[in-house]
Amino acid sequence: MSLPSIEGLMERAGSRYAAVVLAAARARQLSAGAQRLVDTEARGAVAVALDELVSGKLRAGETVRIDCGDSPHT
């Protein structure tokens, strides 16, 4: 498995920090059962999130919410 370059991630997210925060948030969503936004051979949630970011399916500044059932924070 090859991970995307940091330059590609920064180009999409604007900064390393934004890329890490966005990928981490998306990886949590994927771990909770969210559908993948890209067709990838990656298995892990973080790798899938990074592939989604590089492909342009995720953008910095957008929030994707998942219904977490009875959570009061939705």
Q: How confident is the model over 4-22, as pLDDT tens digits?
A: 777 878 788 888 888 888 8
pLDDT at residue 63 in the model: 57
pLDDT at residue 33 in the model: 94
Q: What is the pTM of this model?
A: 0.74
Percent of the chain predicted with pLDDT > 70: 76
Q: Measured between alpha carbons, how far is 47 from 49 in angstroms, rounded to an integer?
A: 5
In the chain, where the domains are located: 6-55
Domain 6-55 adopts which CATH fold?
A: Eukaryotic RPB6 RNA polymerase subunit (3.90.940)
Q: Measured between alpha carbons, how far is 49 from 26 in angstroms, rounded to an integer?
A: 6
Mean predicted lDDT score pLDDT of the chain: 80
